[in-house]
């Protein structure tokens, strides 16, 4: 009975932690010019302007206009 509870707890823990890790990263933000190349043409130029600023920024094409280019503070 105790072994069964441990197995279920471990299985749930692995399942939940894995889904949290993969749920956050959308893979859509761009931090370097090479990543901007995979975007459609209208967004590509805006992305390039954003990531080539003197201070580090990253570009989120999923965000509303005006909020897509954000300072790069190490967070997505």
Sequence-separated (6 or more) residues with CB below 8 Å from residue 68: 46, 50, 59, 60, 61
Residue 59: strand pairing partners: 30, 69
pLDDT tier at 19, thresholds 50, 70, 90? very low
pTM: 0.60
Tokens representing 26?
């959308």
Residue 69, helix vs strand vs coil? strand
Place of tokens 């761009």: 30
User: What number is the average pLDDT over the span 40-69?
Assistant: 92
Q: Over the chain, what is the mean pLDDT?
A: 77
SS3 content of the chain, % helix, strand, coil (to 5): 50, 10, 40
Residue 71: strand pairing partners: 57
Is residue 73's pLDDT more than 70? yes
């Amino acid at each position: 009975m105790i072994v069964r509870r441990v197995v279920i707890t471990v299985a749930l823990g692995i399942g939940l932690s894995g889904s949290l890790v993969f749920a956050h990263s959308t893979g859509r933000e761009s931090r370097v010019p090479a990543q901007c190349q995979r975007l459609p043409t209208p967004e590509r130029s805006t992305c390039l302007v954003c990531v080539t600023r003197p201070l580090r920024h990253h570009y989120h094409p999923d965000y509303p206009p005006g909020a897509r280019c954000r300072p790069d503070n190490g967070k997505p």
